[in-house]
Structure 1
Protein backbone atom coordinates (compact mmCIF):
# COMPACT_ATOMS: atom_id res chain seq x y z
CA UNK A 1 0.00 0.00 0.00
CA UNK A 2 1.42 3.32 -1.07
CA UNK A 3 0.31 6.56 0.54
CA UNK A 4 -0.38 9.19 -2.09
CA UNK A 5 0.74 12.41 -0.45
CA UNK A 6 1.98 15.58 -2.09
CA UNK A 7 5.63 16.02 -1.04
CA UNK A 8 5.15 18.91 1.37
CA UNK A 9 6.63 19.55 4.81
CA UNK A 10 3.15 19.43 6.31
CA UNK A 11 2.59 15.95 4.88
CA UNK A 12 6.01 14.87 6.13
CA UNK A 13 4.94 15.86 9.66
CA UNK A 14 1.63 13.99 9.18
CA UNK A 15 3.43 10.89 7.97
CA UNK A 16 5.82 11.05 10.93
CA UNK A 17 2.91 11.32 13.37
CA UNK A 18 1.12 8.44 11.65
CA UNK A 19 4.31 6.37 11.96
CA UNK A 20 4.54 7.07 15.69
CA UNK A 21 0.88 6.10 16.16
CA UNK A 22 1.27 2.95 14.06
CA UNK A 23 4.36 1.82 15.94
CA UNK A 24 2.71 2.54 19.30
CA UNK A 25 -0.39 0.62 18.23
CA UNK A 26 1.77 -2.23 17.03
CA UNK A 27 3.58 -2.46 20.37
CA UNK A 28 0.30 -2.46 22.32
CA UNK A 29 -1.26 -5.09 20.07
CA UNK A 30 1.85 -7.25 20.33
CA UNK A 31 1.65 -7.10 24.12
CA UNK A 32 -2.05 -7.94 23.94
CA UNK A 33 -1.34 -10.91 21.68
CA UNK A 34 1.29 -12.26 24.07
CA UNK A 35 -1.03 -11.97 27.09
CA UNK A 36 -3.88 -13.64 25.20
CA UNK A 37 -1.58 -16.43 24.01
CA UNK A 38 -0.43 -17.16 27.55
CA UNK A 39 -4.03 -17.22 28.75
CA UNK A 40 -5.03 -19.42 25.81
CA UNK A 41 -2.28 -21.95 26.47
CA UNK A 42 -3.24 -22.09 30.15
CA UNK A 43 -6.88 -22.81 29.31
CA UNK A 44 -5.95 -25.36 26.66
CA UNK A 45 -3.85 -27.26 29.19
CA UNK A 46 -6.75 -27.16 31.63
CA UNK A 47 -9.13 -28.41 28.93
CA UNK A 48 -6.89 -31.37 28.12
CA UNK A 49 -6.68 -32.31 31.79
CA UNK A 50 -10.45 -32.03 32.24
CA UNK A 51 -11.13 -34.12 29.14
CA UNK A 52 -8.97 -36.91 30.56
CA UNK A 53 -10.78 -36.70 33.90
CA UNK A 54 -14.12 -36.62 32.10
CA UNK A 55 -13.43 -39.90 30.31
CA UNK A 56 -12.69 -41.59 33.62
CA UNK A 57 -15.67 -40.06 35.44
CA UNK A 58 -18.10 -40.89 32.60
CA UNK A 59 -16.87 -44.46 32.58
CA UNK A 60 -17.38 -44.76 36.34
CA UNK A 61 -20.82 -43.14 36.15
CA UNK A 62 -21.97 -45.49 33.38
CA UNK A 63 -20.72 -48.50 35.31
CA UNK A 64 -22.53 -47.32 38.46
CA UNK A 65 -25.73 -46.79 36.48
CA UNK A 66 -25.56 -50.32 35.10
CA UNK A 67 -25.19 -51.72 38.62
CA UNK A 68 -28.14 -49.67 39.82
CA UNK A 69 -30.24 -51.00 36.92
CA UNK A 70 -29.32 -54.54 37.87
CA UNK A 71 -29.99 -53.90 41.57
CA UNK A 72 -33.34 -52.09 41.29
CA UNK A 73 -34.46 -52.55 37.71
CA UNK A 74 -34.47 -49.99 34.93
CA UNK A 75 -38.05 -48.81 35.59
CA UNK A 76 -37.34 -48.13 39.26
CA UNK A 77 -34.13 -46.27 38.45
CA UNK A 78 -36.03 -44.12 35.94
CA UNK A 79 -38.72 -43.34 38.54
CA UNK A 80 -36.08 -42.31 41.08
CA UNK A 81 -34.29 -40.21 38.45
CA UNK A 82 -37.55 -38.34 37.77
CA UNK A 83 -37.66 -37.26 41.41
CA UNK A 84 -34.23 -35.64 41.23
CA UNK A 85 -34.69 -31.88 40.61
CA UNK A 86 -33.07 -30.25 37.60
CA UNK A 87 -30.00 -28.16 38.36
CA UNK A 88 -30.82 -24.53 37.56
CA UNK A 89 -28.66 -22.61 40.01
CA UNK A 90 -25.36 -22.66 38.11
CA UNK A 91 -23.82 -19.19 38.35
CA UNK A 92 -21.67 -17.88 35.49
CA UNK A 93 -19.55 -14.79 36.00
CA UNK A 94 -17.49 -12.90 33.43
CA UNK A 95 -14.01 -11.48 33.78
CA UNK A 96 -12.14 -9.44 31.20
CA UNK A 97 -8.76 -10.47 29.82
CA UNK A 98 -7.47 -7.73 27.51
CA UNK A 99 -11.05 -6.95 26.51
CA UNK A 100 -12.09 -10.60 26.08
CA UNK A 101 -14.92 -11.71 28.37
CA UNK A 102 -13.98 -15.05 29.92
CA UNK A 103 -16.67 -17.05 31.76
CA UNK A 104 -16.11 -18.32 35.27
CA UNK A 105 -18.58 -20.91 36.54
CA UNK A 106 -19.08 -21.17 40.28
CA UNK A 107 -18.07 -24.70 41.34
CA UNK A 108 -20.90 -27.21 41.40
CA UNK A 109 -20.83 -29.23 44.61
CA UNK A 110 -20.15 -32.83 43.55
CA UNK A 111 -21.85 -34.09 46.72
CA UNK A 112 -25.60 -34.39 45.97
CA UNK A 113 -28.42 -33.42 48.28
CA UNK A 114 -30.71 -36.43 48.89
CA UNK A 115 -33.96 -35.96 46.96
CA UNK A 116 -35.49 -39.42 46.95
CA UNK A 117 -36.54 -41.98 49.52
CA UNK A 118 -33.77 -44.26 50.74
CA UNK A 119 -36.40 -46.93 51.41
CA UNK A 120 -36.93 -47.64 47.73
CA UNK A 121 -33.32 -47.23 46.66
CA UNK A 122 -30.05 -49.05 47.23
CA UNK A 123 -26.39 -48.33 47.74
CA UNK A 124 -25.88 -48.93 44.01
CA UNK A 125 -28.43 -46.20 43.25
CA UNK A 126 -26.79 -43.82 45.70
CA UNK A 127 -23.42 -44.41 44.08
CA UNK A 128 -24.87 -43.84 40.60
CA UNK A 129 -26.42 -40.58 41.81
CA UNK A 130 -23.10 -39.49 43.30
CA UNK A 131 -21.26 -40.31 40.06
CA UNK A 132 -23.81 -38.37 38.02
CA UNK A 133 -23.25 -35.36 40.23
CA UNK A 134 -19.51 -35.64 39.67
CA UNK A 135 -20.17 -35.66 35.92
CA UNK A 136 -22.26 -32.49 36.23
CA UNK A 137 -19.53 -30.77 38.23
CA UNK A 138 -16.89 -31.60 35.63
CA UNK A 139 -19.17 -30.65 32.73
CA UNK A 140 -19.69 -27.19 34.19
CA UNK A 141 -15.95 -26.71 34.55
CA UNK A 142 -15.26 -28.09 31.06
CA UNK A 143 -17.87 -25.78 29.50
CA UNK A 144 -16.19 -22.84 31.20
CA UNK A 145 -12.73 -23.76 29.93
CA UNK A 146 -13.74 -24.68 26.38
CA UNK A 147 -15.77 -21.48 25.98
CA UNK A 148 -12.75 -19.51 27.20
CA UNK A 149 -10.48 -21.31 24.72
CA UNK A 150 -12.83 -20.48 21.84
CA UNK A 151 -13.18 -16.80 22.74
CA UNK A 152 -9.45 -16.37 23.33
CA UNK A 153 -8.56 -18.14 20.07
CA UNK A 154 -10.90 -15.87 18.09
CA UNK A 155 -9.37 -12.76 19.67
CA UNK A 156 -5.81 -14.03 19.14
CA UNK A 157 -6.53 -14.46 15.42
CA UNK A 158 -8.01 -10.96 15.16
CA UNK A 159 -5.08 -9.43 17.03
CA UNK A 160 -2.60 -11.37 14.90
CA UNK A 161 -4.19 -10.01 11.71
CA UNK A 162 -4.00 -6.45 13.03
CA UNK A 163 -0.36 -6.85 14.03
CA UNK A 164 0.48 -8.22 10.58
CA UNK A 165 -1.40 -5.38 8.89
CA UNK A 166 0.64 -2.83 10.83
CA UNK A 167 3.93 -4.66 10.28
CA UNK A 168 3.50 -5.41 6.58
CA UNK A 169 1.25 -2.65 5.29
CA UNK A 170 0.74 0.45 7.42
CA UNK A 171 4.23 0.96 8.87
CA UNK A 172 6.09 0.24 5.58
CA UNK A 173 3.72 2.57 3.70
CA UNK A 174 4.32 5.40 6.16
CA UNK A 175 8.07 4.78 6.11
CA UNK A 176 8.08 4.84 2.31
CA UNK A 177 6.02 8.03 2.26
CA UNK A 178 8.41 9.71 4.72
CA UNK A 179 11.46 8.71 2.69
CA UNK A 180 9.84 9.86 -0.56
CA UNK A 181 8.75 13.23 0.82
CA UNK A 182 12.10 13.79 2.56
CA UNK A 183 13.98 13.00 -0.68
CA UNK A 184 11.79 15.36 -2.72
CA UNK A 185 12.16 18.15 -0.15
CA UNK A 186 15.90 17.64 0.03
CA UNK A 187 16.16 17.77 -3.74
CA UNK A 188 14.04 20.91 -3.76
CA UNK A 189 16.30 22.50 -1.12
CA UNK A 190 19.36 21.72 -3.22
CA UNK A 191 17.74 23.24 -6.30
CA UNK A 192 16.75 26.35 -4.33
CA UNK A 193 20.30 26.64 -3.01
CA UNK A 194 21.74 26.38 -6.50
CA UNK A 195 19.27 28.95 -7.86
CA UNK A 196 20.04 31.35 -5.02
CA UNK A 197 23.77 30.92 -5.58
CA UNK A 198 23.43 31.56 -9.30
CA UNK A 199 21.20 34.57 -8.70
CA UNK A 200 23.68 35.97 -6.19
CA UNK A 201 26.59 35.54 -8.64
CA UNK A 202 24.71 37.43 -11.34
CA UNK A 203 23.82 40.36 -9.13
CA UNK A 204 25.66 43.63 -9.75
CA UNK A 205 28.85 43.42 -7.77
CA UNK A 206 28.70 39.64 -7.68
CA UNK A 207 31.17 37.32 -9.26
CA UNK A 208 30.88 36.86 -13.01
Structure 2
Protein backbone atom coordinates (compact mmCIF):
# COMPACT_ATOMS: atom_id res chain seq x y z
CA UNK A 1 0.00 0.00 0.00
CA UNK A 2 1.47 3.35 -1.05
CA UNK A 3 1.69 6.08 1.57
CA UNK A 4 -0.12 9.34 0.93
CA UNK A 5 2.11 12.19 -0.26
CA UNK A 6 2.75 15.17 1.96
CA UNK A 7 -0.04 17.77 1.58
CA UNK A 8 1.91 20.47 -0.23
CA UNK A 9 1.01 22.50 -3.30
CA UNK A 10 4.03 21.09 -5.09
CA UNK A 11 2.85 17.53 -4.48
CA UNK A 12 -0.67 18.50 -5.54
CA UNK A 13 0.69 19.73 -8.86
CA UNK A 14 2.71 16.52 -9.32
CA UNK A 15 -0.29 14.32 -8.52
CA UNK A 16 -2.52 16.22 -10.97
CA UNK A 17 0.07 15.80 -13.73
CA UNK A 18 0.46 12.09 -12.92
CA UNK A 19 -3.32 11.64 -12.96
CA UNK A 20 -3.67 13.39 -16.31
CA UNK A 21 -0.82 11.29 -17.75
CA UNK A 22 -2.40 8.08 -16.43
CA UNK A 23 -5.77 8.96 -17.95
CA UNK A 24 -4.22 9.74 -21.32
CA UNK A 25 -2.19 6.53 -21.19
CA UNK A 26 -5.32 4.56 -20.32
CA UNK A 27 -7.21 6.01 -23.30
CA UNK A 28 -4.34 5.35 -25.72
CA UNK A 29 -3.83 1.79 -24.49
CA UNK A 30 -7.56 1.11 -24.72
CA UNK A 31 -7.55 2.35 -28.32
CA UNK A 32 -4.55 0.13 -29.03
CA UNK A 33 -6.32 -2.86 -27.50
CA UNK A 34 -9.42 -2.28 -29.64
CA UNK A 35 -7.36 -1.96 -32.84
CA UNK A 36 -5.45 -5.14 -32.01
CA UNK A 37 -8.73 -6.94 -31.27
CA UNK A 38 -10.10 -5.98 -34.69
CA UNK A 39 -6.89 -7.20 -36.33
CA UNK A 40 -7.09 -10.43 -34.33
CA UNK A 41 -10.71 -11.08 -35.36
CA UNK A 42 -9.73 -10.57 -39.00
CA UNK A 43 -6.92 -13.11 -38.72
CA UNK A 44 -9.10 -15.60 -36.84
CA UNK A 45 -11.63 -15.47 -39.66
CA UNK A 46 -8.82 -15.96 -42.18
CA UNK A 47 -7.47 -18.91 -40.14
CA UNK A 48 -10.89 -20.60 -40.16
CA UNK A 49 -11.14 -20.17 -43.93
CA UNK A 50 -7.63 -21.52 -44.52
CA UNK A 51 -8.22 -24.51 -42.22
CA UNK A 52 -11.42 -25.36 -44.08
CA UNK A 53 -9.67 -25.06 -47.42
CA UNK A 54 -6.75 -27.09 -46.10
CA UNK A 55 -8.99 -30.05 -45.24
CA UNK A 56 -10.57 -30.02 -48.69
CA UNK A 57 -7.26 -29.61 -50.51
CA UNK A 58 -5.49 -32.33 -48.52
CA UNK A 59 -8.25 -34.78 -49.42
CA UNK A 60 -8.00 -33.80 -53.09
CA UNK A 61 -4.19 -34.05 -53.10
CA UNK A 62 -4.24 -37.48 -51.43
CA UNK A 63 -6.83 -38.70 -53.91
CA UNK A 64 -4.78 -37.47 -56.88
CA UNK A 65 -1.67 -39.16 -55.46
CA UNK A 66 -3.54 -42.43 -55.21
CA UNK A 67 -4.61 -42.14 -58.84
CA UNK A 68 -1.01 -41.42 -59.88
CA UNK A 69 0.19 -44.49 -57.99
CA UNK A 70 -2.39 -46.63 -59.77
CA UNK A 71 -1.62 -45.27 -63.24
CA UNK A 72 2.19 -45.26 -62.99
CA UNK A 73 3.10 -47.47 -60.05
CA UNK A 74 4.35 -46.36 -56.65
CA UNK A 75 8.03 -46.86 -57.51
CA UNK A 76 7.80 -44.62 -60.61
CA UNK A 77 5.93 -41.93 -58.70
CA UNK A 78 8.57 -41.99 -55.95
CA UNK A 79 11.35 -41.78 -58.51
CA UNK A 80 9.78 -38.71 -60.14
CA UNK A 81 9.17 -37.15 -56.72
CA UNK A 82 12.91 -37.43 -55.97
CA UNK A 83 13.68 -35.26 -59.01
CA UNK A 84 11.57 -32.38 -57.71
CA UNK A 85 13.78 -29.84 -55.90
CA UNK A 86 12.99 -28.89 -52.30
CA UNK A 87 11.41 -25.46 -51.93
CA UNK A 88 13.63 -23.75 -49.37
CA UNK A 89 13.43 -20.13 -50.49
CA UNK A 90 10.53 -18.51 -48.64
CA UNK A 91 10.26 -14.74 -48.29
CA UNK A 92 8.71 -13.44 -45.06
CA UNK A 93 7.94 -9.76 -44.62
CA UNK A 94 6.88 -8.03 -41.40
CA UNK A 95 4.04 -5.53 -41.16
CA UNK A 96 3.71 -3.48 -37.97
CA UNK A 97 0.27 -3.11 -36.37
CA UNK A 98 0.43 -0.91 -33.24
CA UNK A 99 3.98 -2.10 -32.60
CA UNK A 100 3.22 -5.79 -33.25
CA UNK A 101 5.18 -7.37 -36.13
CA UNK A 102 2.73 -9.34 -38.27
CA UNK A 103 4.39 -11.79 -40.71
CA UNK A 104 3.37 -11.84 -44.35
CA UNK A 105 4.67 -14.73 -46.46
CA UNK A 106 5.14 -14.10 -50.16
CA UNK A 107 3.05 -16.65 -52.08
CA UNK A 108 4.85 -19.30 -54.09
CA UNK A 109 3.86 -20.26 -57.62
CA UNK A 110 1.20 -22.96 -57.37
CA UNK A 111 1.50 -24.11 -60.99
CA UNK A 112 5.16 -24.02 -62.09
CA UNK A 113 6.53 -26.12 -64.90
CA UNK A 114 7.26 -29.63 -63.58
CA UNK A 115 10.95 -30.32 -62.99
CA UNK A 116 10.57 -33.97 -63.98
CA UNK A 117 10.56 -35.31 -67.55
CA UNK A 118 7.16 -35.40 -69.21
CA UNK A 119 8.20 -38.63 -70.90
CA UNK A 120 6.81 -41.47 -68.88
CA UNK A 121 4.59 -39.16 -66.85
CA UNK A 122 0.79 -39.11 -66.87
CA UNK A 123 -2.12 -36.73 -66.28
CA UNK A 124 -2.75 -38.11 -62.76
CA UNK A 125 0.92 -37.51 -61.91
CA UNK A 126 0.75 -33.92 -63.15
CA UNK A 127 -2.45 -33.38 -61.17
CA UNK A 128 -0.83 -34.81 -58.01
CA UNK A 129 2.15 -32.51 -58.49
CA UNK A 130 -0.02 -29.40 -58.90
CA UNK A 131 -2.13 -30.32 -55.88
CA UNK A 132 1.03 -30.79 -53.81
CA UNK A 133 2.13 -27.27 -54.76
CA UNK A 134 -1.26 -25.91 -53.70
CA UNK A 135 -0.97 -27.71 -50.37
CA UNK A 136 2.47 -26.18 -49.79
CA UNK A 137 1.16 -22.70 -50.59
CA UNK A 138 -1.75 -23.17 -48.20
CA UNK A 139 0.53 -24.46 -45.43
CA UNK A 140 2.56 -21.26 -45.69
CA UNK A 141 -0.62 -19.19 -45.51
CA UNK A 142 -1.82 -21.12 -42.46
CA UNK A 143 1.55 -20.64 -40.73
CA UNK A 144 1.30 -16.91 -41.48
CA UNK A 145 -2.17 -16.42 -39.99
CA UNK A 146 -1.60 -18.70 -36.96
CA UNK A 147 1.65 -16.90 -36.11
CA UNK A 148 -0.14 -13.57 -36.49
CA UNK A 149 -2.96 -14.72 -34.19
CA UNK A 150 -0.43 -15.81 -31.55
CA UNK A 151 1.52 -12.54 -31.65
CA UNK A 152 -1.64 -10.43 -31.52
CA UNK A 153 -3.10 -12.46 -28.65
CA UNK A 154 0.10 -12.07 -26.60
CA UNK A 155 0.18 -8.30 -27.14
CA UNK A 156 -3.54 -7.93 -26.40
CA UNK A 157 -3.05 -9.76 -23.10
CA UNK A 158 -0.15 -7.46 -22.16
CA UNK A 159 -2.10 -4.35 -23.16
CA UNK A 160 -5.13 -5.48 -21.18
CA UNK A 161 -3.00 -5.90 -18.06
CA UNK A 162 -1.64 -2.38 -18.44
CA UNK A 163 -5.09 -0.93 -19.03
CA UNK A 164 -6.37 -2.80 -15.99
CA UNK A 165 -3.48 -1.58 -13.82
CA UNK A 166 -4.10 2.02 -14.83
CA UNK A 167 -7.86 1.74 -14.33
CA UNK A 168 -7.89 -0.11 -11.01
CA UNK A 169 -4.63 0.91 -9.34
CA UNK A 170 -2.78 3.95 -10.67
CA UNK A 171 -5.71 6.24 -11.54
CA UNK A 172 -7.64 5.53 -8.28
CA UNK A 173 -4.46 6.07 -6.22
CA UNK A 174 -3.80 9.44 -7.83
CA UNK A 175 -7.45 10.45 -7.50
CA UNK A 176 -7.37 9.63 -3.81
CA UNK A 177 -4.05 11.44 -3.39
CA UNK A 178 -5.44 14.51 -5.13
CA UNK A 179 -8.50 14.55 -2.85
CA UNK A 180 -6.36 14.03 0.24
CA UNK A 181 -3.95 16.84 -0.59
CA UNK A 182 -6.74 19.23 -1.69
CA UNK A 183 -8.72 18.58 1.49
CA UNK A 184 -5.62 19.00 3.66
CA UNK A 185 -4.67 22.26 1.93
CA UNK A 186 -8.21 23.60 2.31
CA UNK A 187 -8.15 22.72 6.00
CA UNK A 188 -4.81 24.45 6.44
CA UNK A 189 -6.13 27.52 4.59
CA UNK A 190 -9.13 27.64 6.91
CA UNK A 191 -6.88 27.32 9.96
CA UNK A 192 -4.63 30.09 8.64
CA UNK A 193 -7.67 32.28 8.03
CA UNK A 194 -8.98 31.67 11.55
CA UNK A 195 -5.57 32.45 13.07
CA UNK A 196 -5.22 35.62 11.01
CA UNK A 197 -8.71 36.73 11.95
CA UNK A 198 -8.08 35.98 15.61
CA UNK A 199 -4.78 37.85 15.46
CA UNK A 200 -6.44 40.82 13.79
CA UNK A 201 -9.22 40.90 16.35
CA UNK A 202 -6.66 40.64 19.13
CA UNK A 203 -4.73 43.64 17.80
CA UNK A 204 -7.98 45.55 17.45
CA UNK A 205 -8.86 44.85 21.09
CA UNK A 206 -5.44 46.06 22.27
CA UNK A 207 -5.80 49.32 20.34
CA UNK A 208 -9.13 50.01 22.01
**TM-score normalized with structure 1 length:** 0.96
Q: Distance in 2 between matches of 1:206 and 1:171?
A: 52
- 1:201 and 1:207 in contact (8 A); partners too: no
Structure 1 residue matching 2:101: 3-state secondary structure: strand
Partner of 2:64: 64
Structure 2 residue runs of 5 or longer lacking an equivalent are: none
Partner of 2:34: 34
Q: Distance in 2 between matches of 1:89 and 1:176?
A: 59
**TM-score normalized with structure 2 length:** 0.96
Partner of 1:194: 194
Moved over 6 A (4+): none
The answer to whether the aligner puts 1:4 opposite 2:4 as a matched pair is yes
Q: Per-residue displacement from partner, 1:66-97 (whole Å, max 9, x unpaired)?
A: 11111112121111111000112221101100
Structure 1 residue matching 2:129: 3-state secondary structure: helix
Could you tell me how far 1:207 is from its partner in structure 2? 8.8
Could you tell me how far 1:170 is from its partner in structure 2? 0.3
Partner of 2:160: 160
Partner of 1:111: 111
Could you tell me how far 1:120 is from its partner in structure 2? 2.1
Structure 1 residue runs of 5 or longer lacking an equivalent are: none
Partner of 2:95: 95
The answer to whether the aligner puts 1:172 opposite 2:178 as a matched pair is no
Could you tell me how far 1:205 is from its partner in structure 2? 4.5
Q: Distance in 1 between matches of 2:88 and 2:207?
A: 99
Q: Distance in 1 between matches of 2:70 and 2:10?
A: 87
Could you tell me how far 1:4 is from its partner in structure 2? 2.9
**What is the number of equivalent residue pairs in this alignment?**
208
Could you tell me how far 1:121 is from its partner in structure 2? 1.6
